[in-house]
Structure 1
Amino acid sequence: MSVVILYGTETGNCELVADAISDVLAVDHDPSIYDMSEFAVEDLDPADFLVVVCSTYGEGELPTGAEPFAEELDSVDPDLTGLRFAVFGLGDSVYGETFNRGGEIMAEMLTKRGATQVGEHARHDNSSTVKPAKQASEWAQTLAPIIEPLTTN
């Protein structure tokens, strides 16, 4: 079992968040980080634990960096039964009901194919004073007990 961190970003903030999550999870795991635009859907392994870091762009759309992965998910339509994943979304509450929609879209796409979302769906608000990497580090600490049972089998 591996921990795979995928990030989809427009401006690069998600990559920084993915690094912060990786730093926390590296204590007990050896996470791999990939840009969604460079990750093949067929490389998703239900035995792995997936962490999705995704921003929201425009009026509630996926960022440019997540679009190739999302399009490939639609075209390949893999069976992801058994895959467990957690989501850290980035957005800005000034956008109202489309706040953090990018992470929600990714979660919907994965669960539609049989994957199971676990843990808290984290939603960073760019209008807050909390830095995204700090919130991500704290959130990643809550993932360790969720991931751990898979590593002891």
Structure 2
Amino acid sequence: MPVHIFYGSSTGTAEGAANSMVEVFEKQGDVEVHDMMDAEIDALVPGDFHVFVCATYGEGELPAGAEYFFQTLDDEAPDLTGLRFAVFGLGDKIYEETYNQGGKLISKHLEDLGAERIGERAEHDNSGDEDPDETAVEWAQGILPLI
């Protein structure tokens, strides 16, 4: 089954985490990595599996590229019934009220359109000691059997 990894990043951390997952998901099949800044919503294929890796920007918003992608998704409001996805969010716990809000927003957008989230939504803390790329690989290994 093909896997599409979409990332939304402001500083490159989400992009790095997304790229670190490729080798894990290649065990499932072909993998395509999409920067949400350039991605088309036509890349959301119900028969494929989708992974969203996203930072939280500003006061709990999506990064600019991800914001545009999800605004387009909301405007077109396609029926995403049958689409399965997982979310790896990045945030900073020092911002308690908005911690990992980007990942939460993505999950809500997709579920509101009928998509089904698989597994637990990851919440990486960028202010912690864990490397986001290593954490992303470990999380992806846990998601792989659920696909």
TM tier relative to shorter chain: over 0.9
Q: Unaligned regions of 5+ residues in structure 1, if any?
A: 148-153
Partner of 2:30: 30
Q: Is 1:83 aligned to residue 83 of structure 2?
A: yes
SS at match of 1:71: helix
Partner of 1:15: 15
After superposing on structure 2, the runs of 4+ consecutive aligned residues of structure 1 that deviate more than 6 Å are none
SS at match of 1:94: coil
The count of residues paired between Structure 1 and Structure 2 equals 147
Identity of aligned residues (%): 50
Partner of 1:150: none
Q: How far apart, CA to CA, are the structure 1 residues paired with 2:79 and 2:28?
A: 28
Q: Cα deviation per residue 1:64-88 (whole Å; 9 max; x = unaligned)?
A: 1201101101111010000000000
Q: How far apart, CA to CA, are the structure 2 residues paired with 1:112 and 1:39?
A: 20
SS at match of 2:95: helix
Partner of 1:119: 119
Q: How far apart, CA to CA, are the structure 2 residues paired with 1:122 and 1:73?
A: 22
Partner of 2:95: 95
**Under a length normalisation based on structure 2, what TM-score does the superposition of the two structures give?**
0.96
Q: Is 1:141 aligned to residue 147 of structure 2?
A: no
Q: How far apart, CA to CA, are the structure 2 residues paired with 1:73 and 1:110?
A: 9
Deviation at 1:26, TM superposition (A): 1.6
Q: Is 1:40 aligned to residue 24 of structure 2?
A: no
**Under a length normalisation based on structure 1, what TM-score does the superposition of the two structures give?**
0.93
Q: Unaligned regions of 5+ residues in structure 2, if any?
A: none
Partner of 2:2: 2
Q: Pairwise CA RMSD of aligned residues?
A: 0.9
